[in-house]
């Protein structure tokens, strides 16, 4: 039985095309603020991919990740206003699930050694392993490099006793 050169070449080309198509990643449907680039949804400029959406971030937006933090492993902070009491927008994620987002005010102090901010109680849900509701508080100090060093304290919502705390460095968003 003779195998022709044409059938060998044809089989090789079909096999190669099948292999290439099976290795090629395809985008699932990207949200409106993202484009499919090399098989991945990539957020448009000025947006950050977060919890399966593209969050619009401005000039005063900061992103911090610390997997060791008690309730939140990712924190995004956008400072919206000026003055001693400033509005901030916060988006957070804990583990692989979306935890939430909020807008609230914080106390903001401009100082020569680096601005500071303080929020005695962030309106973000968090629970201890025994399901005790916790209230996080945030204390931040702006560093000379423009990033924020943030301390999160997690307090028992009933006794106000500190249950845990962690540090997160929030780096300025570069879109």
* pLDDT for the residue 67: 84
Over residues 158-171, the pLDDT tens digits come to 999 999 899 999 99
Does CATH place domain 6-172 in 2.40.128?
Answer: yes
What whole-number distance in Å separates Cα of residue 92 and Cα of residue 97? 10
Q: Is 18:12 a contact under the CB 8 Å cutoff?
A: no
**Rounded Cα distance, 82 and 85, in Å:** 7
Q: How many CB atoms lie within 10 A of CB 98?
A: 14
Region 99-108 average pLDDT: 75
Q: What is the C-alpha to C-alpha distance for residues 133 and 33, in angstroms, rounded to an integer?
A: 35
Q: Chain centroid to CA 167: how far?
A: 16
pLDDT at 107 over 80: yes
Whole-model pTM: value is 0.70
Given a contact cutoff of 8 angstroms between Cβ atoms, the answer to whether 134 and 148 are in contact is no
Higher-pLDDT residue of 97, 20: 97
């Amino acid at each position: 039985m003779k195998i022709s050169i044409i059938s060998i070449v044809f089989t090789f080309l079909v096999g190669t095309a099948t292999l290439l198509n099976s290795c090629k990643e395809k985008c699932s449907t990207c949200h409106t603020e993202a484009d499919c680039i090399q098989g991945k949804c990539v957020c448009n400029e000025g947006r950050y991919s977060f919890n399966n959406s593209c969050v619009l971030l401005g000039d005063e937006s900061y992103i911090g990740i610390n997997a060791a933090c008690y309730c939140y492993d990712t924190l995004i902070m956008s400072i919206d206003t000026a003055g001693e009491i400033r509005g901030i927008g916060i988006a957070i994620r804990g583990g692989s699930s979306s935890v939430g987002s909020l807008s609230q005010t914080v106390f903001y102090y401009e100082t020569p050694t680096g601005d500071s901010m303080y929020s005695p109680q962030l309106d973000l849900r968090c629970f201890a392993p025994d399901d005790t509701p916790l209230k996080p508080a945030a204390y931040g100090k702006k560093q000379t490099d423009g990033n924020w060093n943030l301390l999160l304290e997690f307090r028992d919502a009933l006794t106000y006793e500190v249950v845990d705390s962690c540090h997160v460095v929030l780096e300025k968003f570069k879109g």
